[in-house]
Structure 1
Amino acid sequence: MGDDQPAGDDLPWRSIARLVASYRSRELSPVEVTETFLTRIEQLDPQLHSFVRVTPELALGQARAAERAYAEGGQVGPLAGVPVSVKDAFHVSGVVTTLGSLVYRDQVAKHDSGVVRRLRAAGGVFLGKTNTAEFGQSATTDNLLGPDTGNPWDPTRTPGGSSGGAAASVAAGLATVAVGSDGGGSIRIPAAFTGLYGLKPSPGVVPDEKGFRAMTDFVSGGPLASRVADARVMLGVLADRDLARRTVTGPLRVAYCPRPEGRPVDPGVAAAVEQASRAMSLLGHVVTQTDLPVQGWEEIFGPLVLEDEHRERGHLLERFADELTRYERSSLRAALRLDPSDVARAHDALPEYRQRIDRLFDDYDILLTPTNAVPAFPLGQRPTQIAGRDVDALWGAFPFAVPFNTAGVTAASVPCGLADGLPVGAQLVARAGREHFLLDVSEDLEEVLGFDRTAMAQRWSPAQGSVP
């Protein structure tokens, strides 16, 4: 796919590499580009509600600094002048961090958290804070701050969550790249629903010093982007690593599991992910269809997340219950009923679970599964049946990402096709610490699949021309 995707000549979908090259050649001005994005947000985001707060003064100040740096001809950061959206779970100094909650609607951050500090140092232009589920506790992006975030492919449908605002901002061309966080699928789920690439790093690869705490055992910040190459740049900044593309030496051993734990998958999703498995074969890799021993994650993930919520936010239930979402109240009340023995068993089982998944990589280099079990569904209407089988509302639509948070490995969602005109993601999973390898494999797969964004890009193309 590279830069040859629909609307490739339109500014909203330009790659980081093309933007930076245009700045260096003076073809484009970071200030003018930032003004264009801010105008698009003003005109288009009322249909999507991807941003909870736009920061034009901050963005234009950063853009002016980038423009001076390019004019001086010296060394500039890898994101200098690049429009970035920041999930409202990260602290930007001087800007409100709501965490998706009415409780914190007036809380101004006193400092940058670690993720934001590194993005700022790299020259990123912060357009604003993107909407999130309250405290990241839902796989859809709805809270009491305002309307639900819509999916750019169909604004009546969810973009997923909890980084749904981040995903929607990039998919609609309201930001070049976005930073999200993933504790139970919260980058990969919305990436799949909106036709983006999203990567969850292994624990510890992307620290967020002095940041918000939730799902502490499982969460990581990471990129959402229109292409792997852009995610590569952002992750390199976040992890302070050189992640330049390398040749994948193969053939790789690919474990393809079309229905982890035997769970139902929408037929259109299954067909698109099957196409991804065939693409891996076309790349010369050895693809073996197999079951994956991921069972047991719920008994670990659930108690540990609830324990974390109680520790960090249990005090809110008594004082602010009326200002909390139904799902957050439900979580905090469930935390009060937690059996300490269940929590102890979960703590004991976590390292065993991680060892079990790690052993898979003695036999396979990469795992391939669907990212979600369905395409994006209508806002507020989680499916209770998939492929004719009953599923629970909590995890039924998206049960395939969270096992790999529990496992502590790295995983990504690559757009692999459409089902009923909506994007489908294929999940690639690699051993802990192999983010560089995962990016390389992802970019190879992306190029073979050539995901078509034409319909969506046309919908959100600039109404009155574009920057050349």
Structure 2
Amino acid sequence: MTVARALERIERLDPQVCAFLDVWPERALSREPDPAGALAGVPFAVKGPAGIRAYAARRLIAAGAVPVGSTAVPGPGTYWQTWGLGRHGRTVNPYRADRTPGGSSAGAAVAVATGMAALATGSDGAGSVRIPAAWCGVFGLKTTNGLLPSPDRTGLASAGVLTPTAADARTCLRAVLDPYEEVRPVLPLRARWSPDLGFARTDPEVESVARAAAELLETTGVVRLDRSPLELLDPRDAWQSVRGGRPAAAAGVRAQNDHRLDALFARTDLLLTPATPNRPHGHDGPGDTYSTALTWAFNLSGHPAASVPAGFTDDGCPVGLQLVAARGADVALVEMAVAAQERLPAVRRPTRTPGASAANPGD
């Protein structure tokens, strides 16, 4: 994808999906990246108004990638279970305009899903990369806590990236990590399947889609599944305590979950779960459901985690399969995700953006 092509798509599609806060056409078209860079001329989007200053964005620019704009994040004063607010209005799911794309990296996921950017930076403090990646049918990676610089003083948030595929994320990780050490996983991977981590109330159809993806990986030789139950403590109160500046109140839950996860990854390469317990909800919010129920445990524990497109529910909502690996195994996790995505059915991209007419398809 060229910068000119990305800008053309933004001009045409963004009024419908509202993925961007700001667009920088003159700056992007005038930039002359080093042709020797690994990402020379690749158009990318940054998360939020301050995203251009993030460490990952600076590294991508150094590798030749060209920033084309900043993406939508939740509006001021909104609750954390929310969507995005772009320059044209409320950010919508590219598959169903009546549903949210997830957040807080809402616009980033929509920009990648609709081809308005080849990749986008994100940050993940409770699932803010993995949830929108799952609900927009793209790949999303949350890195190991502390691996890359983060302005979040609580230590919960870590840098992430959203790309069309895991293979695209591999190229990004090579540009961002210094040093980058190649890792090639040996198949079949030892994998543990959990639909709920022992506490979440997962939508039966979401669970079915994610389970089918995990079982397809088993039949195609990518993983060898262990289906025995995994029992973690619900991290909700602990996460909220840490976010509220009271980390001591979370110490007991963190210690017990860390112990259980350390034991798990001592004998397992990969943990597989649905990325979310629910499908994309309406713009009035998720009600009593915590969309973060299956993601924020790994913000507390620090493990790298990713969402790979797993399929769709009967009402046309994308579902993500979450992959979690040992702390520091980010490169290995992406390689495992590449192997997984090669065996899973290709994602059905939106044939048109929400509100587009038959004469003006989104692609």
Calculate the TM-score normalised by the size of structure 2.
0.90
Distance 1:282 1:79 in 2: 35
Please state whether the residue corresponding to 1:363 is helix, strand or coil. coil
| Letter in structure 2 aligned against 1:130 | T
Q: 1:171 aligned to 2:95?
A: no
267-276 vs 194-203, greater mean Cα deviation: 267-276
| Letter in structure 1 aligned against 2:119 | V
> Aligned in 2, Cα 1:169/1:402: closer, same or farther, shift over 3 Å?
same
Superposed counterparts of 1:59-74, under 5 Å: 59-62=28-31, 65-66=32-33, 69-70=34-35
Deviations 1:297-342 (A, max 9, x none): 22321111122xxxxxxxxxxxxxxxxxxxxxxxxxxxxxxxxxx6
> Aligned in 2, Cα 1:453/1:53: closer, same or farther, shift over 3 Å?
same
| Letter in structure 1 aligned against 2:40 | A
Superposed counterparts of 1:201-280, under 5 Å: 201-208=143-150, 213-214=151-152, 216-242=154-180, 247-280=184-217
* Residue 348 (structure 1) shift: 6.3
Please state whether the residue corresponding to 2:347 is helix, strand or coil. coil
* Residue 353 (structure 1) shift: 3.6
> Aligned in 2, Cα 1:441/1:237: closer, same or farther, shift over 3 Å?
same
* Residue 459 (structure 1) shift: 4.8
Please state whether the residue corresponding to 2:320 is helix, strand or coil. strand
Q: Which position in structure 2 is the counterpart of 1:80?
A: 40
> Aligned in 2, Cα 1:272/1:57: closer, same or farther, shift over 3 Å?
same
Distance 2:84 2:360 in 1: 32
Please state whether the residue corresponding to 1:260 is helix, strand or coil. coil
1:41 alignment partner, one of 10, 20, 32: 10
Distance 1:300 1:220 in 2: 18
Residues 126, 292 of structure 2: 8 Å contact kept: no
Q: Any unmatched runs of 5+ in structure 2? A: none
Residues 137, 162 of structure 1: 8 Å contact kept: no
Distance 2:130 2:361 in 1: 32
Identity of aligned residues (%): 34
Q: Which position in structure 1 is the counterpart of 2:344?
A: 449
Please state whether the residue corresponding to 1:406 is helix, strand or coil. helix
> Aligned in 2, Cα 1:447/1:215: closer, same or farther, shift over 3 Å?
farther
* Residue 120 (structure 1) shift: 1.5
Distance 2:69 2:265 in 1: 39
> Aligned in 2, Cα 1:89/1:464: closer, same or farther, shift over 3 Å?
closer
> Aligned in 2, Cα 1:354/1:243: closer, same or farther, shift over 3 Å?
same
* Residue 294 (structure 1) shift: 2.2
Please state whether the residue corresponding to 1:44 is helix, strand or coil. helix
Please state whether the residue corresponding to 1:426 is helix, strand or coil. strand
* Residue 79 (structure 1) shift: 1.4
Distance 1:247 1:416 in 2: 22
Number of aligned residue pairs: give it: 358
> Aligned in 2, Cα 1:352/1:414: closer, same or farther, shift over 3 Å?
same
2:274 alignment partner, one of 370, 373, 382: 370
Q: 1:117 aligned to 2:87?
A: no
Q: Any unmatched runs of 5+ in structure 1? A: 1-10, 12-32, 71-75, 93-111, 308-341, 385-391
- What CA RMSD, in Å, does the superposition of the two structures yield over aligned residues? 2.7
Residues 160, 190 of structure 1: 8 Å contact kept: yes
Q: Which has the larger radius of gyration?
A: 1
Distance 2:59 2:13 in 1: 29
2:230 alignment partner, one of 269, 292, 296: 292
Calculate the TM-score normalised by the size of structure 1.
0.71
| Letter in structure 2 aligned against 1:408 | G
Please state whether the residue corresponding to 2:337 is helix, strand or coil. helix
Distance 2:242 2:198 in 1: 21
* Residue 466 (structure 1) shift: 12
Distance 2:86 2:68 in 1: 22
Residues 47, 155 of structure 1: 8 Å contact kept: no
Q: Which position in structure 2 is the counterpart of 1:26?
A: none
Please state whether the residue corresponding to 2:89 is helix, strand or coil. coil
Please state whether the residue corresponding to 1:165 is helix, strand or coil. helix
Q: Which position in structure 2 is the counterpart of 1:406?
A: 300
Q: 1:50 aligned to 2:19?
A: yes
More helix by share: 1
Residues 183, 215 of structure 1: 8 Å contact kept: no
Distance 1:441 1:412 in 2: 10
Distance 1:372 1:218 in 2: 18
362-371 vs 161-170, greater mean Cα deviation: 362-371
